[in-house]
Amino acid sequence: MADLSDVSTSLALGLVAVTLSLFWLKRKNTSRDPPGPPVLIPGFGHLLQMSSQPVQQLRLLRQRYGDVFRLYMGSYPVVIVSGAEMIADVLQTRGAEFSHRPPSFLAETLANNKGLLNTSGSTWLEQRKTMIRTLKMQAATGGHLETYIGKAAQRLTTQFKSLVDSGQADMLDVAPFIKRAVFFVSFSLAFGRQLDFDSEFLISYANHYDHFFRCLNLAVLTAFMPWISWLPGDLVGYKKCKETAEIIVKNYVEPEIARLKSIVNNNNRDVKDSSTVAPFCLASVYIDEMRQKEREGTPTFLSDEHLPITISDVIAGSFDTMSSGLCWMLLYLIHYTDVQETCRREILDNDCDLDIAKYVYTQAVIMEVQRHANMAPMPPAHCCDKDTEIGGYFVPKNTAIIINTDSLLMGPEVGDDPTAFRPERFIDDEGKLHIPKWFIPFSAGKRMCIGMAVARKELLGFIIELLSKFQFSAPKVNGRECMPPLEGINGISHSPKPFHLCVTLAGQRK
C-alpha cells in the first residue's frame, strides 16, 4: 500500500506540473516577446526536439526566428542568443547585468546553492576572485602548475611506452589514461599534494567524478522538469547523481580540507619543517583568506559551507573540460596526420620547452580543434535579476539565457570555409598567433572560465610530451584501417564518442 500511495502522490504532482505548464504556455504572447516555435508536448516544451541534435536544431531555429528566440525547456522559458553582435552585448557590453545564474532545481538540490558555478552576486564574485587569483599564481612561470603537468605527462608517456613495448597499443582506448593524468593535475592544484598514479584514493576519486558526469548528462532534465525526481525509481539517474555528489564531498573533498585546516589553523608557515607548512593550493588559500577576514572582522562570503562546493566546482570543470579536450585533440590528429607531423616538428625544434609563445602552430591546432569540436554548444545559462531586453525583445527577470556558441564558432565571422579544418586561420600574416573576438571556447565577460590560463598551458603541456614521444594513427583490423568518426556525445559537454587508436613510438609506423 505504501508503494501505491507513493505512485499516486507522484502522479498527482506530475499532473499539477503539467497543468501549470499548460497555463504558462497558453498565456498570451505580446509583440515584445522573443519569437519561437510552438510547443507540441506540454510539460516537455522543446526538450524532445532538442535532445538528439541540439546544434543542428539551433541552426534551423536561428534561420527561421533570428538571433534572439525563445524555447521552452519543460515549462521553463529559455532565451537563445546567437550571433557575434547579440552575444557580445550579453556577455561583454552588459556582462555585469547578465552575470547571474537562473534559479535551478539542480543547483539547489546538488549544491545547496553554494559554491562557484551556480551562485550569483557578491557571494559568487568573492568565490571567483579568490580562485582566479590563486590559479593565476599557479599558472605563472615557475608556479606549481608546470611541475604538476610535467609529472602527469611523464607518467602518462610511461604508461603508453609500456603498452607499446608489450604490444598492447595497436588498438588502445586512451580515455581512461588521460582522465587519470588530468585528474592528477586538478587534485594537486586543489589540495597541494601529489598522489601516486596507482593510488586507490586517486583512482576512486577520479572514477566518482567520471560517474557523476555520466549520470548528470541525463539527470540535467530535472533542472527543467523537477517533477521527474519525485517519480518512483530513478528514471533519469537524478538520485544516483545526487548520491555521487554527496560521496565526492564527504569522502574526498572534506577530508582534504580538514587536513589543510589543521595546518593553516596552527599558523606554522614560518617553521623550517615543510611537513607542517600548508602547501600553496586552492583550498589552503581559501582557508587562509577566510580565517584572515574572520580575525579582522571583515564581512565575507567565504565560508566553510561554500568551500567544499567551490573546490568541487573547480575540479569538476577542469577535469571534464581537459580530459574531453585532450581526447578530441588526439582524435583530430589521427584524422589529419600532416597536421600532427607539423606539430611534432615544431615541438622538437623547441626542445619540448613549455613556453607557450614558442608554439604558434600547435596552439593554432588546439584552437581549431576547440572550434570544430565545440565542447560547450549550450554552456551554463545566464540570467538578469531584473526585467530587461535583448535585441529589442522583453526578457523577464530570472529567465534562463543560453549562448549559442555554434553561431560564433561556425558563423560567417570565421570565414567562407567554417566547416574546413584549417589551423592557419589563427595565424596572422606575420606568423603570430591571432585570437579573434568570435573565438570564445571558455566563454567571455564576467562569467568567463576562471581556469583559461591553466587550461591553455595544461593542454599544450600534455600535447608537447605526447607528440615528442609517440605517433598516433587509426587502428587496423585485418590489415584495414579503421578510422574512428569525428562524432561526439551531447551531454553537459560535447565529448567524443569512445574510440580507439594506434600508438607507436615517434618515427615508427605500423
CATH of residue 24 = 1.10.630.10
Q: Rounded to the nearest 10 degrees, how much is the dihedral formed by the CA atoms of 243, 328, 443, 419?
A: -140
Strands 393-395 and 400-403: unpaired
Element spanning 472, H or E: strand 470-473
Kindly tell me the sign of the dihedral angle through the C-alpha atoms of 167, 170, 171, 172: positive
What does the alpha-carbon distance between residue 398 and residue 180 come to, in Å, rounded to a whole number? Answer: 38
Say if residues 174 and 498 touch (Cβ distance below 8 Å). Answer: no
**In total, how many domains does the chain have?**
1
pTM over 0.85: yes
- What pLDDT was estimated at residue 141? 66
Position 312 in a domain: yes
- State residue 225's pLDDT score: 94
SS3 475: coil
- Residue 77 in contact with residue 102, Cβ under 8 Å? no
Answer whether 374's CB lies under 8 Å from 409's CB.
yes
Residue 397: its H or E element:
none
DSSP label at 384?
A: -
Q: Is residue 388 in some structural domain? A: yes
Per the structure, the complete domain to which residue 198 belongs is given by 2-505
3-state DSSP call for residue 51? helix
Q: In one letter, which amino acid is 75? A: S
Would you state the pLDDT for residue 29?
52
- Please indicate, yes or no, if residue 510 is contained in any of the structural domains: no
Residue 136: Cβ-neighbour burial (10 angstroms; 0-12, 13-18, 19+): middle
Residue 384 annotated as binding site: no
pLDDT tens for the chain, 510 residues: list them: 344 444 444 444 444 444 444 444 444 455 699 999 998 788 899 998 887 789 999 999 999 999 999 999 998 999 999 999 999 999 999 999 999 999 999 999 999 999 999 999 999 999 999 999 999 988 886 679 999 999 999 999 999 999 999 999 999 999 999 999 999 999 999 999 999 988 999 999 999 999 999 999 999 999 999 999 999 999 999 999 999 999 999 999 999 999 999 987 776 444 344 444 568 999 999 999 999 999 999 999 999 999 999 999 999 999 999 999 999 999 999 999 999 999 999 999 998 787 889 999 999 999 999 999 999 998 999 999 999 999 999 999 999 999 999 999 999 999 889 999 999 999 999 999 999 999 998 889 999 999 988 999 999 999 999 999 999 999 999 889 999 999 999 888 999 999 999 999 997 655
Nearest partner of 420 among 324, 498, 323, 335, judged by Cα: 335
What's the rounded Cα separation, in Å, for the pair 267 and 295? 13
CA 133 to chain centroid: 20
Q: Where do the H-state alpha helices sit in 166-199? A: 175-191
Contact 93, 62 (CB under 8 A): no
Query: What is the identity of the amino acid at 137?
Result: M
As given in the structure block, the three cell numbers for residue 346 are 615544431
C-alpha cell at 225: 522538469
Taking CA atoms, 245 is separated from 109, 211, 249, 284, 467, in Å, by 10, 10, 6, 22, 35
Please provide the size of the chain in residues: 510
